[in-house]
Chain A
Amino acid sequence: MSENKLPETIIFRIRRLAPRRADKPTWGEYPVAYSPGMTVLDGLWQIKERVDSTLAWRASCRMGVCGSCGMFINGRSRLGCNTQIAELGTSVVTVAPLPNFPIIRDLVPDLRPMFDHHTALSPFIIRKDTAEMQEPTGEFFQSADEMERYLQFSYCIKCGCCVAACPTCATDSTYSGPMALTQAHRYNSDTRDDGFETRKEVLTGGAGPWRCHFAGECSRVCPKGVDPGKAIQLMKRQLVADYLGLRRKDPVAQINVKPEGIKRREGIPEAPEPSVEP
């Protein structure tokens, strides 16, 4: 159904649950006045302002950056702010909380299990030169090719859509899930990082990538175009190579030292003096 053919009133079918008041979820239907360009999140705001102020969901930036408004919209995990009603093409929009998470209320999932797995995999730069990390004296050198190895994985906004779509996460609570594993691979492939051995403790166990069936749903639903399925397969390859003693161990990136004794070419002006005191 194209945007022109959508009716003036769209029905939002929303799964409601207040765990302190009821054990079983119910479905509520709410009419929403449709206007072109309207997103699912706009529709939810309209319901809250005009129909039912008790409806709960989580949202913040409204522009697909913060990752707060992950929802199960028309049978697929998506961001509410990033999904236009026109692109769904239906006059009834079904909205439920993200699957594979406990529910706090209505459309608000409890993301703590996902972040517990994330935290366990030390998703930050780990280096042995702690003094430099505490008091940096310069930048670590990294080439464009080296950055390409992890760049797409760093676009992750931790919305949880991939975890909600993962068939393994649906049954296995000990599995780290696509988000946490992708972030572990993002740091393992960063040349400035030296934390592979630390993360390996978790990755080589039951929480690691070994339960992944490569269904690929995580990559299909990611609103930022990250490919967690690829990250998990690359991570498997890296860990197996490490087990077989075949992993390439590149030296950890060092401080980029400014070359000395180089003369400026004629005609290239000097950089201006700093305009503020350091």
Chain B
Amino acid sequence: MIRDHKLWTWHIAAGLLILCLLGLHMAIMHLDALLGIFNPAGGHPIDWQNVAARSQSLFFLVSYVLLLGAALFHGFYGLRNILFELDPAAPMKKSISWVLILIGLGLFIVGGWAAWTSFQGAIVA
């Protein structure tokens, strides 16, 4: 298993990444009247044309995948810490880690597939 100081460093790095990418999300979704960025069709940021335009951008594909990975790692590492504080036995700790890794990977694959399919759809179109 990876040493705790490495996991903790990545946890902090993921937190910083989430801060930046969520900042971008907030700017797009809630400051559209002021900034109007990444909403090429105008109107509301969650109008279909705007969502499709963002999904078709390589920048957003990378951003979505990074945000998904960072959020999953940050959240599941935190959950692991909480569960470890219940003082389970060593084999149970190992099981908890593996279950969380598998769930996290599963969710990452599903989310990554959704982002990739949207992007691919753009290429096909």
Give me the interface of A with B, judged by CB distance under 8 Å.
168, 171-174, 203-206, 208, 210-211, 236, 239-240, 243-244
Q: Are B5 and A243 in contact (CB under 8 A)?
A: yes
Name the interface size band of chain B.
Answer: 10 to 19
With A204-B4, A206-B4, A210-B4 already in contact, the answer to whether A243 and B9 are too (CB < 8 A) is: yes
Contacts of B3 in A (CB 8 A): 204-205
- Chain A residues in 8 Å Cβ range of B93: 206
Looking at chain B's contact residues, the main secondary structure is: helix
Q: Which residues of A contact B12 (CB under 8 A)?
A: 240
Interface residues in chain B, defined as those with a beta carbon under 8 Å from any beta carbon in chain A: 3-9, 12, 81, 84-87, 93
Closest chain A residue to B11 by CB distance?
Answer: A210
Nearest 8 Cβ contacts at the A-B interface: A204-B5, A210-B4, A204-B3, A171-B85, A210-B8, A239-B5, A240-B9, A172-B85
Nearest CB in chain A to that of B3: its residue: A204
Is there contact, CB below 8 Å, between A243 and B84?
Answer: no
Cβ–Cβ contact B85 & A168, under 8 A: yes
Shortest beta-carbon distance, B36 to chain A, in Å?
A: 38
User: Residues of B contacting A244 with CB < 8 Å?
Assistant: 9
State the CA gap A203–B84 with chains docked (Å).
17
Chain B residues near A211: list those with CB within 8 A: 81, 84-85
Tell me whether A206 and B9 are in contact (CB under 8 A): no
Q: Which residues of A contact B4 (CB under 8 A)?
A: 204-206, 208, 210
Beta-carbon nearest neighbor of A201 in chain B: B3
| B8 and A171 contacting across the interface, CB-CB below 8 Å | no
Complex Cα–Cα for A205 and B87 (A): 15
* Docked pose: A173 CA to B89 CA in angstroms: 11
C-alpha gap A204/B8 in the complex (Å): 10
| B86 and A171 within 8 A (CB) | yes
Please determine whether B86 and A203 come into contact, CB atoms closer than 8 angstroms: no
Beta-carbon nearest neighbor of A175 in chain B: B85
